[in-house]
Structure 1
Amino acid sequence: MREVGIPHPRLPLPEPGQGDDPQAFLAWLMDAIPMVEHLGIREMRWEGESLVWELALGPNLNDKGTGFGGALTAQTTLLGWCWATLWLRQRGYARDVVVAEASQRFLAPVTGDYRIVCAAQSEQGPASLAERLTSRGRGRIALVQQLWCGETLCLEAHGDYAVLAAG
C-alpha cells in the first residue's frame, strides 16, 4: 500500500527513440496509482498519435446499471495524463505532468464495454509543446478524450495538461 506524501518511484525511461511497452507502463501505473487496478482497463495501445484504452463496464457501474459518470471522468483525466507522460518519455523527458483544467460532456449512457481514445486537440499541439519545453523548460498541451460504446460517442472530455519544469 502506498504511503501518503511519498512519491512513487519513476519508471526508468525507455531507450532513446523507443516508446514504452504499454502493458509494462500499465503495470507500473497500477502500482503508482492504487485506484487504477479497479478501473477495468483491459488494454492500452497507441493507434497512430492516439492513445486508446479498452475497458470493461462491470467495475464502473452506477446504480442504474450504466457507466458511473465519476469513474468515466476519472478515466478520461487519467488517460490524458498517460498520453502526456508517455509522449514525454518517448522523447527522453522524465517530468511531472498535472491536469490544469478538465471538462466533460456526457452524450449518451454507457451500456457495455467501451474504449476511450485520447489525442492532441490540435495538430500543432505536440510541436508547440516540444518548442515550449526547449525554450522554457515547461509547457502545456490540450488533449481530447472520446469514450465510445460500440459506434456511439457517449462522452467527450477536454483536458489541459501542464508539464512542470525539471527540478
Structure 2
Amino acid sequence: MRHPGVPFPRLPLPEANRAGQGEDMEAFQHWLNEAIPLVGHLGLKRMYWQHESLIWELALGPNLNDKGTGFGGSLAAQTTLIGWCWATLWLRAHQREQDVVVAKAGQRFLAPVNGNYRLECRPRDEDGPQQLDARLKSSGKGRLALVQQLFVGDSLCLEAEGDYAVLPATSTP
C-alpha cells in the first residue's frame, strides 16, 4: 500500500540498450501499477515499443463518461502518463536513475473515443533524445517534448503534447 510522501522503490536498471529495448515491459507495467495506483484503473492491457514509439493498448470500459464514450479527464491523464513512461524508460535504457516530471501538457480532442483504443507516444523532434542526452551529460538535467496520439482503429481521436523535465540525479549517502 502506498503512503503519501514516501517514494516508491525504483526497479533495478535493465542492461544498457537502445530506447527501452532491453526493458522487461511486463515487469515495468507491474511496477507501474504498484508505483502509481491510478494505473491499475485505466484499462491498460499492454505496452510495447514500435521503433521510437511507446504504444499502449487500452480498454474503453474503465474510461467511460456519461455519454458512453471516453472520459476526457481519463484520456488526458493517460497521455500525460505515457509520456512520463517514455521518458522514464528512455532514461532507464541509458542507465540513468533520474526522476521525470511533466512540466507542461495539452490535449486536443478530435473525435469521440467509442471503442478500445491505442495510445502512441514519440519524441516531437527526431533529434529530441540526442539533445536531451547532450544536456544530461553537460548539466545533469534536461527537457524533452513528446507527442501522443490516440487512435480507435485507424481514426485519430486525440492529439496531445507534453514537455517532460528530467531532474538532476540525487546523490545517495
> Aligning the two structures, in what range does the TM-score lie when normalised by the shorter sequence?
over 0.9
Q: Is the 8 A contact 1:19 1:89 kept in 2?
A: no
The TM-score, its normalising length taken from structure 1, stands at 0.99
The TM-score, its normalising length taken from structure 2, stands at 0.95
C-alpha displacement of 1:20: 1.1
CA distance in 2, matches of 1:122, 1:61: 32
CA distance in 2, matches of 1:105, 1:16: 36
C-alpha displacement of 1:4: 0.7
Please, which runs of 5 or more residues in structure 1 have no aligned partner?
none
Q: Give the share of equivalent positions with the same residue, in percent.
A: 66
Q: In the alignment, does 2:156 pair up with 1:157?
A: no
| 1:37-77 superposed Cα distances (whole Å, 9 cap, x missing partner) | 01000110000000000000000000000000000000000
SS for the counterpart of 2:55 is strand
CA distance in 2, matches of 1:133, 1:103: 25
| RMSD (CA atoms) | 0.7
Name the counterpart of 1:122.
125
Query: In the alignment, which of 142, 153, 163 is matched to residue 145 of structure 2?
Result: 142
C-alpha displacement of 1:16: 2.3
Query: In the alignment, which of 51, 62, 84 is matched to residue 48 of structure 1?
Result: 51
Query: In the alignment, which of 35, 38, 42 is matched to residue 35 of structure 1?
Result: 38
| 1:67-99 superposed Cα distances (whole Å, 9 cap, x missing partner) | 000000000000000000000000000110000
SS for the counterpart of 2:26 is helix
Name the counterpart of 1:107.
110
Please, which runs of 5 or more residues in structure 2 have no aligned partner?
none
C-alpha displacement of 1:15: 1.6
Runs of 4+ displaced beyond 3 Å? none
